[in-house]
Amino acid sequence: MYDYLIVGSGLYGATFAWFATKAGKKCLVIEKRPHLGGNVYCEEVAGIQVHRYGPHIFHTDDEDVWRFVTQFVPFNRYTNSPLANYKGEMYNLPFNMNTFRQIWGVTTPMEAIAKLDEQRREIRELLAREGVDTPRNLEEQGLSLVGRDLFEKLIKEYTEKQWGRPCRDLPAFIIRRLPVRFTYDNNYFNDRFQGIPVGGYNRLVEGLLAGVECRCGVDFLHSEYRDWRRFAKKLVYTGPLDAFFNHCYGELEWRTLRFETRVLDVPNYQGNAVINYTSHDVSYTRVIEHKHFELFGNAVYGNPRTVVTEEYPVPFLEGMEPFYPVNDGRNDALCRKYKALADAEKDVVFGGRLAEYKYYDMAPVIKNVMDYWKADGEV
Ligand SMILES: Cc1cc2nc3c(=O)[nH]c(=O)nc-3n(C[C@H](O)[C@H](O)[C@H](O)COP(=O)(O)OP(=O)(O)OC[C@H]3O[C@@H](n4cnc5c(N)ncnc54)[C@H](O)[C@@H]3O)c2cc1C
């Protein structure tokens, strides 16, 4: 008999297992994939750590979370500074003085502020003429936030590729904010702590799950563990929320990505870890060159080969990995109904991005588990 049966070995399940074990509880982790770690799992290809389910950059402002993860593995100094390629024109992201210089030729913050204000005026005046207070769709929202030039070159077609629909047909809430910086600073995140585990995320997961009994290739929903009370006092479920309840109210929608990964016989393919392709000309949204997550400067030339991955957004179909919840009105209403069922489940913890039907970065997932154990008073 276990204290906890933990379904899923992603960061939620693995962190939960660590805290439970520390509190003297006996855990069994079951994982339907053939490996542990969920979406942060890495594979070594051509001597390079490849983030198999999309690039993962750890970032947080929370010192407790940073201290927690760095006890298992040192983190490198990777700083996310993606670029955008629009029909061969290169722009720095997030929007900052470098981007404004590249798109408008302005060089001072005052010039950039004036230009941005002029760009936003068009949509402000249109909405005022039509007696509308707030943007009615994603196109109006994007134009209100950053004006036509930035919206059309760097947001519109990229977002349409991501969602498979024109921005005019997408709800405004998808982009609530578009950070704009009037400094020459290409660091994507504002957080104090950022990096990638040296040697890859598997080392972090191995640290979290050290000494914990784990079984891979076991799908909770189609195994004897479905009758979990026979095995454990409590269940921690990190799989999809609707699947736990046999989709009794219907299916929650997801978006996902298809990855095409190639090994190339060149030492440095694109000079950066992440390049967004923001026009319809190419159907992928990003190209990732994995070695730049772990090698910096001329160290990239130490390995004569490189690994690149193109990311293609696709609608979710049975058998794929669900990545991004579609938090529109229909799905949020459905999710509330499932959450009411979840609340009534005694002795089951629903946690993580699948069971909460919510996009979470890694640090908040870990924080949620830390808070759970603090509130429970067991650690
Ligand atoms: C493409 C992409 C890029 C991302 N990039 C970043 C980033 O740069 N920075 C960042 O902070 N966050 C990033 N994230 C978010 C990060 O992946 C999540 O925060 C993290 O994976 C959440 O962990 P989790 O345990 O909730 O989910 P998961 O990692 O998905 O783990 C859930 C596990 O449960 C297993 N499971 C599901 N159902 C069953 C079942 N029935 N039986 C057994 N096992 C089951 C799954 O196989 C999976 O291993 C990214 C996410 C995606 C999709």
- List, in order, residues 6 or more apart from 326 with CB less than 8 Å away: 252, 253, 254, 255
- Residue 359 has a pLDDT of 93
Identify the residue whose C-alpha is closest to ligand 1 atom 12: 361
Pocket test for ligand 1, best of 12, 18, 191, 362 (most atoms within 8 A of CB): 362
In angstroms, rounded to a whole number, what is the distance separating the alpha carbons of residues 122 and 84? 25
3-state helix, strand, coil in the chain (%, to 5): 40, 20, 40
The Å distance, Cα 321 to ligand 1 centre, comes to 9
Residues having CB closer than 6 A to ligand 1 are 7-13, 30-33, 38-40, 54-58, 219-221, 238-239, 257, 323, 352-354, 360-363, 365
Q: Quote the ligand 1 centre to 301 CA distance (angstroms).
A: 32
Helix axes 63-70, 362-376, angle to 10 degrees: 100
> Would you state the pLDDT for residue 377?
54
Give the model's pLDDT for residue 206.
Answer: 98
Catalytic site residues? 177, 181, 255, 286, 311, 359, 361
Written as six digits, the tokens of 1 are 């008999």
Which amino acid appears at position 57 of this protein?
I
What pTM was computed for the model? Answer: 0.95
Contact criterion met (CB below 8 Å) for 147 and 141: no
Neighbours of 93 (CB within 10 A): 20
Residue 7 has a pLDDT of 98
**Running DSSP on this structure, what letter comes out for residue 283?**
S
Q: What is the pLDDT of residue 176?
A: 85
DSSP letter, residue 351:
-
Ligand 1 centroid from CA 323, angstroms = 8
Local confidence pLDDT in tens for the 379 residues of the chain: 999 999 999 999 999 999 999 999 999 999 999 999 999 999 999 999 999 999 999 999 999 999 999 999 999 999 999 999 999 999 999 999 999 999 999 999 999 999 999 999 999 999 999 999 999 999 999 999 999 999 999 999 999 999 889 999 998 988 988 989 999 999 999 999 999 999 999 999 999 999 999 999 999 999 999 999 999 999 999 999 999 999 999 999 999 999 999 999 999 999 999 999 999 999 999 999 999 999 999 999 999 999 999 999 998 888 899 999 988 889 999 999 999 999 999 899 999 999 999 999 999 999 999 999 998 655 4
The residue type at 93:
L
Crossing angle of the two packed helices 11-22 and 362-376, in degrees rounded to 10: 30
| Atom 37 of ligand 1: nearest residue by CA position | 239
The whole-number pLDDT of residue 248 equals 98
pLDDT of residue 342: 98
User: What's the pLDDT at 379?
Assistant: 43
pLDDT at site 315: 85
Q: Which domains does the chain have, with CATH numbers?
A: 2-79+191-253+325-376 (3.40.50.720), 94-174 (no CATH), 255-315 (no CATH)
pLDDT value of residue 131: 95
CA-wise closest residue to 90 among 153, 182, 136: 153
Cα–Cα distance, 189 to 152 (Å, whole number): 23
In the DSSP assignment, the letter for residue 210 is: T
Q: What is the pLDDT of residue 327?
A: 81
